[in-house]
RNA sequence: CGGGGCGUAGCGUAGUGGCUAGCGCGCCUGCUUUGGGAGCAGGAGAUCGGGAGUUCGAAUCUCCCCGCCCCGACCA
């Protein structure tokens, strides 16, 4: 491929667009790769579309290599299948809905589980046909409440979504593993640094789910990673390391104390350390010695409300994302002022666990953080205004209905696998593999006959790669202050050839080199603009980010050109006659 | 949806009641220049987001509307 800058539909910008915040958005816009059209909606210019297709093709090749078969569904979809799985409603405002001229409902596909399931149902009916893995690369539409970060989170975006169909869990495990392997190969080839983290399988009835995250400060996902072992998890899916139970025979009996004006954990800790009668002899009280009881209202899928109290150590906040993941498919809302009168057992500000639990008189469900194990002793609410209780011991003085992963994860928390400290980082979700189970097959009645002639519901998995997002993720991880630094594999073009100088010979030689490279399958973009000064050309070359920059200029009189490695910045003068073989080795 | 910021030419911006809305980049013409975003001269390009109002006079003040960005909520 040979592109000429003098005629290529490309305009680079000197300044960052005012609205852009993340590097990929700034650089892709400045480099003339993309243009924003509306919030979360982008156009690809020629060079951008070239890059996009390069990445898309790598993903396609890896999927095909793994034995997955490509299909293609429309984006414009009828309502009925989504009605059957209840997602017409469940997807809520995130679904782009529209009507045709006869007022019939349609939607723009946010994801295609239904369509894939129905297609398989349409054609297959025997266990002998399974396993089957099919995928597509398709534009998806989601009316996100807040698109952001340029291409990283759009409302219209491209996604590779694949689905596996198996007769049983064993088959699903194999299909899942195949995807895991294929994804590792794919992202490695794309030059993306990634980490595989455990994710929530959510309410889908699935048993396993992992995300591929590209570490990046602008990523939207927070995850933890063990400093020592291979444990890594999305923060929602982090499993708290449970301490062992403590013998409580020597812990003094509980005692209730007057603690006026202690609305916060801090004030409670302060007063406990200041007052002689409350002071601890061996050490000061800490926030972690208090048990904070947070009241919430759960709304179950059937619409019923149920209060829930969660007991967590006082040095932690409730992490809403973790909480929501833990209670899904129910949703939580804050406990409002009007709710309190309905539950007289709850004394606002002084809620304590003695009156809580399904077996207690209040019948209010009480769940505790996994760190609250038998034998732990706490300062907590006494259910009397202005009073707290001390030395309240779990297992001796109160019980819980179970534990819940709702407390925030902190740096230094210990790994549930090996006990080492965890680190916290952010990443871009570039892939997600997910054991769906039978939810969609069940809802859409996808069954096949097994070897005994019995009808079996098929077990499914779903697997996604954000294709357009991957373009941005590559830029996030591969750029410097001058511009993009494409990894060789994904670079839209291999060689950026700059003609620097005004002599006609420079341009003629450049043209010859460009032709020769193109003839030898080395793609080249030739900056043949005559009225543009060399400085502009060098800056553009660095902004656009092709891996090798070749300069034809003043060294031509010695029969040499300069080859610069965009990434390392190293330059080398190469004899013109050796250029082709030199570049062949590099690209 | 809550909080914050913003809307002036293709891009980046100046301009808090007063003359024809200014500057840089980019674009066009001519000359000149060609190894790190050149120079000179001339030029095109703006319903100042939209509407209503106040005023002798509005980009500037008031009200309403629209749009955009950021944080949060939300996000198989």
Question: Would the pLDDT of A206 be above 70?
Answer: no
pLDDT given at position A559: 92
Q: Is the CB of A14 under 7 A from strand B?
A: yes
Q: Which residue is nearest to nucleotide B33 (CA to C1')?
A: A533
Question: Would the pLDDT of A303 be above 80?
Answer: no
Q: Which of A91-107 are b and which e, b meaning 16 or more Cβ less than 10 Å from the residue's Cβ?
A: beeebbeeeeeeeeeeb
Q: According to the 3-state scheme, what is the secondary structure of A48-62?
A: HHHHHHHHHHHHHHH
Lowest-confidence range among A72-76, A185-189, A271-275?
Answer: A271-275
Report the topology of domain A48-238+424-475.
Answer: BirA Bifunctional Protein; domain 2 (3.30.930)
Question: Would the pLDDT of A203 be above 50?
Answer: no
- Taking only the tens place, the pLDDT of each residue in A232-247 is 888 777 878 778 888 8
Average model confidence (pLDDT) across chain A: 87
List the structure tokens of A161: 């979504």
Closest nucleotide C1' to the C-alpha of A30: B11
Closest nucleotide C1' to the C-alpha of A536: B37
Q: Is the CB of A144 under 7 A from strand B?
A: yes
> pLDDT grade, residue A205 (50/70/90)?
very low
Q: Give the C-alpha separation, A213 to A209, whole Å.
A: 13
- Taking only the tens place, the pLDDT of each residue in A423-448 is 888 899 999 999 988 888 988 899 99
Contact of A201 with A173, CB cutoff 8 Å? no
pLDDT, mean of residues A48-67: 95
Q: How far is the CA of A554 from the C1' of B39 (A)?
A: 22
List the structure tokens of A123: 């054609």
pLDDT, mean of residues A90-118: 88
Q: Give the C-alpha separation, A94 to A78, whole Å.
A: 16
DSSP A204-229: G--S-EEEEEEE-TT-SEEEEEESSS
Closest nucleotide C1' to the C-alpha of A19: B69
> pLDDT grade, residue A229 (50/70/90)?
confident
Q: How far is the CA of A18 from the C1' of B17 (A)?
A: 29
Q: Which of residues 372-431 of A touch strand B (CB under 7 A)?
A: none
pLDDT given at position A514: 95
Q: Give the C-alpha separation, A373 to A399, whole Å.
A: 10
Q: Which of residues 154-213 of A touch strand B (CB under 7 A)?
A: 159, 161, 202, 204
- Taking only the tens place, the pLDDT of each residue in A312-347 is 888 888 877 787 777 776 777 777 777 777 777 777
DSSP type of residue A351: -
DSSP A404-437: ---BPP-TTPBPTTT-PBEEEEEEEEEEEEEEEE
Closest nucleotide C1' to the C-alpha of A93: B74
> pLDDT grade, residue A511 (50/70/90)?
very high
Q: Is the CB of A41 under 7 A from strand B?
A: no
Lowest-confidence range among A192-206, A460-474, A488-502?
Answer: A192-206
Q: Is the CB of A553 under 7 A from strand B?
A: yes
Architecture of the CATH domain A493-586: 3-Layer(aba) Sandwich (3.40)
pLDDT given at position A204: 44
Q: Which of residues 218-277 of A touch strand B (CB under 7 A)?
A: 220
Question: Would the pLDDT of A354 be above 50?
Answer: yes
Q: Is the CB of A464 under 7 A from strand B?
A: yes
pLDDT, mean of residues A290-304: 78
Closest nucleotide C1' to the C-alpha of A142: B75
List the structure tokens of A294: 């947070």
Report the topology of domain A255-393.
Answer: YbaK protein (3.90.960)
* Strand partners for A425: A223
pLDDT given at position A83: 85
pLDDT given at position A91: 80
Contact of A55 with A467, CB cutoff 8 Å? yes
Q: Is the CB of A555 under 7 A from strand B?
A: yes
Domain ranges for chain A, please list them: 48-238+424-475, 255-393, 493-586
Sign of the dihedral defined by the CA atoms of residues A212, A216, A219, A225, in that order = positive
Give the pairing of strands A365-368 and A305-313.
parallel
> pLDDT grade, residue A201 (50/70/90)?
low
The CA-based diameter of chain A, rounded to the nearest angstrom, is: 96
Closest nucleotide C1' to the C-alpha of A500: B35
Q: Give the C-alpha separation, A85 to A95, whole Å.
A: 14
Residue A457's H or E segment, with its range, is strand A455-457
Q: Give the C-alpha separation, A582 to A576, whole Å.
A: 10
A338: three-class secondary structure by DSSP: helix
Lowest-confidence range among A78-87, A170-179, A186-195?
Answer: A78-87
Name the residue with higher pLDDT: A373 or A567.
Answer: A567
List the structure tokens of A137: 């690369």
Q: Give the C-alpha separation, A119 to A123, whole Å.
A: 7
Q: Is the CB of A151 under 7 A from strand B?
A: no
Q: How far is the CA of A334 from the C1' of B63 (A)?
A: 37
Name the residue with higher pLDDT: A361 or A518.
Answer: A518
Backbone angles phi, psi at A174, to 5 degrees: -70, -45
Q: How far is the CA of A32 from the C1' of B46 (A)?
A: 24
Q: Which residues contact A22 (CB under 8 A, 6 or more apart)?
A: A149, A150, A152, A218, A472, A476
Name the residue with higher pLDDT: A164 or A304.
Answer: A164
Distance separating the N- and C-terminal Cα atoms of chain A: 14
Angle of the A46-65 helix axis to the A169-189 helix axis, nearest 10: 140
pLDDT given at position A226: 85
Q: How far is the CA of A496 from the C1' of B37 (A)?
A: 18
| Strand B bases with any atom < 7 A from protein Cβ | 1, 11-13, 24-26, 32-38, 67-76
Residue A383: name the closest of A395, A369, A370, A397 by CA.
A397
Closest nucleotide C1' to the C-alpha of A328: B76
């Amino acid at each position: 491929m040979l592109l000429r800058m003098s005629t290529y539909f490309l305009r680079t910008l000197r300044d960052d667009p005012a609205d852009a915040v993340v590097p990929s958005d700034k650089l892709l816009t400045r480099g003339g790769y993309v243009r924003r059209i509306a919030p979360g909606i982008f156009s690809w210019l020629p060079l951008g579309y070239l890059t996009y297709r390069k990445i898309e093709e790598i993903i396609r090749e890896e999927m095909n290599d793994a034995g997955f078969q490509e299909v293609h569904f429309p984006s414009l979809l009828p309502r009925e299948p989504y009605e059957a799985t209840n997602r017409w409603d469940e997807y809520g405002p995130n679904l782009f809905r529209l009507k045709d001229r006869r007022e019939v409902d349609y939607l723009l596909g946010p994801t295609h589980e239904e369509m894939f399931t129905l297609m398989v149902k349409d054609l297959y009916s025997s266990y002998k046909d399974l396993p089957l893995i099919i995928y597509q690369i398709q534009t998806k539409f989601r009316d996100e409440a807040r698109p952001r970060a340029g291409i990283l989170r759009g409302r219209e975006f491209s996604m590779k979504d694949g689905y596996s169909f198996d007769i049983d869990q064993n088959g699903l495990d194999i299909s899942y593993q195949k995807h895991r392997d294929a994804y590792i190969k794919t992202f490695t080839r794309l030059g993306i640094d990634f980490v595989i983290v455990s994710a929530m399988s959510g309410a889908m009835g699935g048993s396993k789910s992992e995300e591929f995250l590209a570490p990046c400060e602008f990523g939207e996902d927070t995850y933890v990673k063990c400093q020592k072992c291979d444990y890594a998890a999305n923060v929602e899916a982090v499993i708290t390391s449970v301490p062992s139970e403590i013998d409580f025979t020597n812990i003094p009996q509980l005692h209730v104390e007057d603690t006026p004006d202690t609305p916060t954990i801090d004030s409670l800790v302060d007063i406990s350390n200041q007052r002689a009668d409350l002071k601890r002899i061996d050490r000061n009280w800490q926030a972690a010695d208090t048990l904070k009881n947070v009241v919430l209202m759960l709304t179950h899928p059937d619409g019923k409300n149920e209060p829930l109290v969660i007991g967590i150590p006082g040095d932690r906040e409730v992490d809403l994302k973790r909480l929501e993941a833990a209670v899904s498919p129910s949703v939580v809302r804050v406990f409002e002022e009007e709710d309190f009168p309905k539950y007289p057992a709850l004394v606002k500000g002084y809620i304590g666990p003695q009156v809580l639990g399904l077996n207690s008189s209040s019948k209010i469900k009480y769940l505790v953080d996994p760190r609250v194990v038998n034998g732990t002793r706490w300062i907590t609410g006494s259910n009397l205004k202005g009073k707290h209780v001390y030395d309240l011991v779990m297992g001796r003085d109160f019980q819980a209905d179970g534990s819940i992963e709702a407390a925030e994860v902190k740096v230094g928390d210990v790994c549930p696998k090996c006990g080492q400290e965890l680190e916290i980082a952010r990443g871009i979700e570039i892939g997600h593999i997910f054991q769906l189970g039978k939810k969609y097959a069940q809802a859409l009645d996808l069954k096949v006959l097994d070897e005994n002639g019995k009808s079996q519901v098929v077990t499914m998995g779903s697997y996604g790669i954000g294709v357009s997002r991957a373009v941005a993720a590559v830029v996030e991880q591969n750029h410097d202050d001058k511009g993009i630094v494409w990894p060789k594999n994904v670079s839209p073009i291999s060689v950026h050839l700059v003609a620097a100088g005004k002599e006609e010979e420079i341009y003629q030689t450049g043209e010859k080199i460009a032709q020769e490279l193109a003839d030898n399958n080395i793609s080249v973009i030739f900056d043949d603009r005559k009225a543009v000064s060399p400085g502009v050309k060098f800056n553009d070359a660095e902004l656009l980010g092709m891996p090798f920059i070749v300069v034809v200029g003043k060294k031509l009189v010695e029969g040499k050109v300069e080859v610069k490695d965009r990434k390392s910045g190293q330059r080398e003068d190469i004899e013109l006659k050796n250029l082709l073989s030199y570049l062949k080795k590099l690209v």
